[in-house]
Amino acid sequence: MGETLQFLLSGLTSGAIYALIALGFTIIYNATEVINFAQGEFVMLGAMFMATFCAHGLPIPLAFVLAITFTAVAGILIERLAIYPARNASPITLIIITIGLSILIKGLAMFVWGKNPLPVPSFVGERPLNLLGATIIPQSILILVAAVIAVWTMEIFFQKTLPGKAMRACAANRLAARLLGIKVEPLVLLSFALSAALSALAGVIISPITFATYDMGTMLGLKGFSAAVLGGLTSSTGSVLGGFILGVLESFAAGYLSSAYKDAAAFIILVLMLLLRPEGLFGKKEIKKL
């Protein structure tokens, strides 16, 4: 019981991180139909900025806000400098551009911050708590709370606010949205900023546990992508649930089957999902079978 709960808790913690990244994928995909393979680098940038600001003695809340803002700005810059100029290119070209961006950002991060992991202080103390025979560190609870709040805020944004509704309209049918007088360009910028901010949040809150390293984004990004595909790529609810499901399954696979193959678990789920139900758990069934 205690063991199962332990795996569940650690799975939910990493699941929360995957969920935030997957939501970022979905937001950009819905706005631009670009699968942004540089998503993981936003996570890394968030963690790196956080580590830098903390090292300079900034109070944690301020560093937190600054790290996320800086990454959001990076997201906007990337859209302007690399995605926007190639907006008429084929999807393959755009995918490759984002992969190139990911390599480029990672290289820059290695140049600026070096190869060693940078420590980030824990936000809420380090003493583990006991919960029905399982231990949980306070930072994990914080991760779960932060993820839930972020996802909830996004949901309110998409359902209640005008820009959020416009973004949904844009995702449903870009041309129709344009005809209704919705300006698509600022929405695309906004989607990059939001998506980068969500991923940065994931990076910031996980950094006290994993430290910040220049290459931390690749694996996290790919797993977030798997989570998004699991949820259906176009559905924000789906991608969040996909994140949690992936995290928990991965944790159980690592705990009960083999910890060595932990990193493969997420991708086995991804491949199985693509083979068996390519539209994802919650995606629209728009896939055309040939």
Partner 1 sequence: MKGHYLALAILAGILLGVGFFNQNDYYFNVLNILLLKGLIVVGLCLLMGYAGQVSLGHAAFYGLGAYTSGILTAKFGWSPVSALFVAQGVTLLAALVIGIPALRLKGHYLAMATLGFGVIVYVIFKEMIDLTGGPSGLVGIPPLQVFGHTFLESREYFFLFTGALILAVLFALHLAHSPFGRALLALHDSEAATMSLGYDTGRLKLIVFLISAALAGLAGSLYAHFAMFISPTSFTFLHSVKFVTMVVIGGVASLWGALLGAALLSVLPEVLTIFEDYDVLVFGTILVAIMIFLPEGLFKGLGTLVQRFRKVRPGSLNLF
Length of the chain: 290
Contact flag: residue 100 with partner 1 (CB under 8 A): yes
Q: Taking the complex as a whole, how short is the minimal distance between the CB of residue 179 and partner 1, in angstroms?
A: 25
Cβ count within 10 A of residue 85: 10
Token pair for 216: 């931390």
Contact flag: residue 9 with partner 1 (CB under 8 A): no
Contact flag: residue 289 with partner 1 (CB under 8 A): yes
Whole-number Å distance between alpha carbons of 3 and 98 = 40
Q: Which is nearer to partner 1, 159 or 259 (CB)?
A: 259
Contact flag: residue 246 with partner 1 (CB under 8 A): no
Binding mask 77-96 for partner 1 (x = CB under 8 A): -----x--xx--xxxxx-xx
What DSSP string describes 126-193? -PPEEETTEEE-HHHHHHHHHHHHHHHHHHHHHHHSHHHHHHHHHHH-HHHHHHTT--HHHHHHHHHH
Q: Which is nearer to partner 1, 62 or 271 (CB)?
A: 271
Token pair for 141: 């609870």
**Backbone torsions φ then ψ of 136, nearest 5 degrees:** -140, 135
Contact flag: residue 106 with partner 1 (CB under 8 A): yes
Q: Taking the complex as a whole, how short is the minimal distance between the CB of residue 110 and partner 1, in angstroms?
A: 7
Q: β-strand 134-136 against 129-131: which pairing, if any?
A: antiparallel
Q: Taking the complex as a whole, how short is the minimal distance between the CB of residue 209 and partner 1, in angstroms?
A: 22
Contact flag: residue 107 with partner 1 (CB under 8 A): yes
Of 56, 127, 160, 288, the one binding partner 1 by CB under 8 A: 288
Burial 133-144, CB ≥16 within 10 A → b, else e: ebebbbbbebbb
Contact flag: residue 148 with partner 1 (CB under 8 A): no
Contact flag: residue 142 with partner 1 (CB under 8 A): no
Amino acid, res. 80: R
Of 36, 39, 102, 234, the one binding partner 1 by CB under 8 A: 102
Burial 104-114, CB ≥16 within 10 A → b, else e: ebbeebeeebe
Whole-number Å distance between alpha carbons of 10 and 14 = 6
Contact flag: residue 112 with partner 1 (CB under 8 A): no
Q: Taking the complex as a whole, how short is the minimal distance between the CB of residue 290 and partner 1, in angstroms?
A: 5
Q: Do residues 40 and 222 lie in contact, with contact meaning Cβ atoms separated by under 8 Å?
A: yes
Q: Which is nearer to partner 1, 164 or 232 (CB)?
A: 232
Binding mask 40-79 for partner 1 (x = CB under 8 A): ----------------------------------------
Q: Do residues 78 and 192 lie in contact, with contact meaning Cβ atoms separated by under 8 Å?
A: yes
Amino acid, res. 82: A
| Residue position matching structure tokens 């086995």 | 268
Of 21, 212, 222, 248, the one binding partner 1 by CB under 8 A: 222
Residues that bind partner 1 (CB under 8 A): 35, 82, 85-86, 89-93, 95-97, 99-108, 110-111, 115, 218, 222, 225-226, 229, 258, 260-261, 263-264, 267-268, 270-271, 274-275, 278, 287-290
